[in-house]
């Protein structure tokens, strides 16, 4: 079967190859992959900057944002042939640490967790994979192939949960949220904010194209300038760019008692001059919370499934701006200005 693989640490080593079919020891449920989304992490892995091959292997099958259909599932597994499913990206460490032991692998303490398509576990850019039922999440058939958005939505569902948990240390009646970045993560974060009944303001650089429309269509407000020019004292900021200057901008402009949740993985090695004393002083004097958030556990996938099931399917479908057939996979790794979510079509639905 076909698979897209990479040699982690080696730039431009992605290739389409003939890969062994999954064996029953990989899991009792056999899944036909339909499509796999590409995100910044995949681009970093393809660029040789991130990623680990499975132990004893040189190559890693890429892909962690997937949608597929069950081909074969044992009776009593909770899955049946034809179900739309998404594979959970992170698997608990083998020790397991106390978080992994209770299913909170997104908070793994010892770093020995694995991640499909990223860290020591083959990913979903292959025509079939196998998984145990507890590593799969069912997706509403009304969403179908758009279930490919479930994994990125799980990441922002966790971000919202984390921010709310910090904010709830005191009485909290949030009204205004800011989201920085109108890529897939920012747009999905905005969607959840709107579903929560907040006035959501999304900040991005693009002055035209699809992004401003996508933001307005869910009832959020789109801005291109600095935060302070348009929004004062937001209750919550979900930072989705990882751009260091924007991260500190967010920290500087959060309202008193508010929370900034950081979700962007920044590139490293660039220096920024900041008044650290001022940052500390305002954080302390205004009870500001800053929380980092990565990955997602099953609860967040379930929250994400609810968010997607409640969203407008037409809007969700507009987020997928390019579908690239598996044989032309290299095109999916070339960013184009109008891209929101690019997916590789592994097989027909």
Q: Which residues bind ligand BGC (CB under 6 A)?
A: 39, 41, 64, 89-90, 115, 118, 151, 155, 294-295
Closest to ligand BGC by CB, 46 vs 198, is: 46
> How many other C-beta atoms are found inside a 10 Å radius of the C-beta of residue 283?
16
Q: How far is the CB of 328 from ligand BGC (least distance, A)?
A: 23
With vertex at residue 144, the alpha carbon angle to CA 142 and CA 150, rounded to the nearest 5 degrees, is 100
Closest to ligand BGC by CB, 118 vs 247, is: 118
Q: How far is the CB of 119 from ligand BGC (least distance, A)?
A: 6
Q: How far is the CB of 142 from ligand BGC (least distance, A)?
A: 24
With vertex at residue 154, the alpha carbon angle to CA 153 and CA 158, rounded to the nearest 5 degrees, is 115
Closest to ligand BGC by CB, 89 vs 163, is: 89
Q: How far is the CB of 58 from ligand BGC (least distance, A)?
A: 20
Closest to ligand BGC by CB, 158 vs 223, is: 158
Q: How far is the CB of 339 from ligand BGC (least distance, A)?
A: 16
Closest to ligand BGC by CB, 183 vs 258, is: 183
In angstroms, rounded to a whole number, what is the distance separating the alpha carbons of residues 305 and 315?
Answer: 15
b/e map 29-59, b = 16+ CB within 10 Å: bbbbbbbbbbbbbbeebbbeebbbbeeeeeb
In angstroms, rounded to a whole number, what is the distance separating the alpha carbons of residues 29 and 138?
Answer: 12
Instruction: Scan for tokens 């869910």, then name that residue.
Output: 218
Enclosing H/E stretch for 112: none
């Amino acid at each position: 079967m076909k698979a897209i693989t990479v040699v982690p640490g080696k730039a431009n080593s992605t290739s389409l190859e003939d890969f062994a079919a999954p064996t029953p020891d990989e899991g009792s449920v056999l899944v036909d992959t339909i499509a796999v989304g590409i995100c910044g992490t995949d681009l970093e892995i393809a660029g040789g900057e991130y990623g680990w091959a499975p132990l004893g292997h040189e190559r890693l099958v890429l892909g962690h944002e997937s949608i597929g259909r069950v081909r074969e599932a044992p009776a009593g597994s909770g899955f049946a042939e034809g179900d739309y499913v998404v594979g959970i990206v992170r698997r608990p460490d083998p020790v397991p640490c106390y978080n992994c032991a209770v299913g909170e692998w997104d908070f793994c303490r010892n770093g020995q967790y694995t991640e499909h398509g990223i860290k020591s576990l083959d990913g979903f850019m292959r025509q079939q994979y196998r998984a145990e039922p507890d590593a799969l999440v069912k997706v509403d058939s009304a969403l179908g192939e758009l279930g490919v958005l479930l994994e990125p939505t799980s990441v922002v569902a966790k971000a919202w949960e984390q921010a709310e948990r910090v904010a709830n240390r005191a009485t909290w009646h949030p009204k205004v949220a800011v989201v920085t970045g109108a890529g897939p993560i920012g747009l999905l974060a905005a969607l959840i904010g709107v579903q929560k009944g907040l006035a959501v303001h999304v900040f991005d650089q693009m002055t035209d194209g699809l992004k401003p429309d996508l933001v307005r269509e869910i009832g959020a407000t789109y801005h291109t300038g600095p935060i302070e020019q348009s929004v004062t004292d937001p209750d919550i900021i979900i930072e989705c760019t990882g751009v260091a200057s924007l991260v500190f901008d967010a920290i500087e402009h959060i309202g008193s008692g508010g929370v900034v949740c950081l979700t962007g993985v920044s590139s490293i090695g660039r220096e920024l001059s900041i008044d650290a004393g001022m940052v500390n002083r305002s954080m302390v004097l205004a009870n500001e919370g800053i929380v980092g958030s990565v990955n997602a556990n099953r609860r967040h996938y379930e929250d994400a499934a609810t968010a997607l099931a409640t969203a407008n399917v037409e809007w969700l479908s507009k987020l997928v701006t390019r579908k690239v057939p598996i044989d032309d996979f290299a095109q999916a790794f070339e960013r184009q200005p109008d891209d929101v979510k690019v997916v590789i079509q592994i097989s027909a639905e």
